[in-house]
């Protein structure tokens, strides 16, 4: 099973700026934690970060046939990008919307997501742990989905 992690604009600054809001872990450290958990779960992971909307759209389009699922932190594009939404709709790859912060406890504009209704689920507010929690949840969801309608849970 392959799960792609897609990160949007400014997340490359993690651990460098605004540690009081976004924590002290760098994006590389967040990804390392995901990699460690993925290895324990027997899942392959890949990582992509861009500050550019079109590059994110390209990366999402490339998921088709290449990934079983995705963790998507589209950062500010979560709240604004119909292009990212349309790409996720087009590829039909199951994904979890991930946020470091609790977007519902922040300014009004961040309470609106253009992606959440397409997602399997949303994990927000746990800092770097949001990614690991999302990985665990999506892995379980995909394994249950692969088990079909029999109700047999494969681990
Ligand atoms: O909480 C999240 O994960 C967000 O996706 C982060 C985005 C924000 O626009 C979303 O509303 C919620 C911002 C990412 C910016 O990351 C920075 C990291 C360090 C320093 C400055 C920005």
Catalytic residues: 22, 99
Nearest-angstrom CA–CA distance, 152 and 155: 10
Look at ligand 1, atom 4, and give the residue with the nearest C-alpha.
75
Give the pLDDT confidence score for residue 148 in this predicted structure. Answer: 64
- Per domain, the residue ranges of the chain are 2-145
Domain 2-145 has CATH 3.40.50.9100: yes
Nearest-angstrom CA–CA distance, 59 and 125: 25
119 lines ligand 1 (CB under 6 A): no
Nearest-angstrom CA–CA distance, 120 and 93: 10
Please give the distance, rounded to the nearest whole angstrom, from the Cα atom of residue 69 to the centre of ligand 1: 22
Q: How does pLDDT run along the chain (155 residues), one tens digit per residue? A: 999 999 999 999 999 888 888 889 999 999 999 999 999 999 999 999 999 999 999 999 999 999 999 999 999 999 999 999 999 999 999 999 999 999 999 999 999 999 999 999 999 999 999 999 999 999 999 999 999 644 444 44
114 lines ligand 1 (CB under 6 A): no
């Amino acid at each position: 099973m392959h799960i792609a992690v897609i990160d949007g604009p400014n997340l490359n600054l993690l651990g460098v700026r605004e540690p009081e809001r976004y924590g002290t872990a760098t994006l590389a450290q967040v990804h390392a934690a995901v990699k460690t958990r993925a290895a324990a779960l027997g899942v392959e992971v890949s990582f992509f970060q861009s500050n550019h909307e079109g590059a994110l759209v390209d990366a999402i389009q490339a998921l088709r046939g290449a990934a079983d699922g995705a963790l998507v932190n589209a950062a500010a594009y979560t709240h604004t990008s119909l292009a990212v939404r349309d790409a996720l709709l087009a590829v039909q790859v199951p994904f979890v919307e991930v946020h470091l912060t609790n977007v519902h406890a922040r300014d009004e504009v961040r309470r609106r997501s253009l992606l959440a209704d397409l997602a399997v689920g949303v994990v927000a507010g746990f800092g770097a742990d949001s990614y690991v929690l999302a990985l665990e949840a999506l892995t379980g969801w995909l394994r249950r989905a692969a088990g079909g309608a029999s109700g047999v849970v494969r681990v």
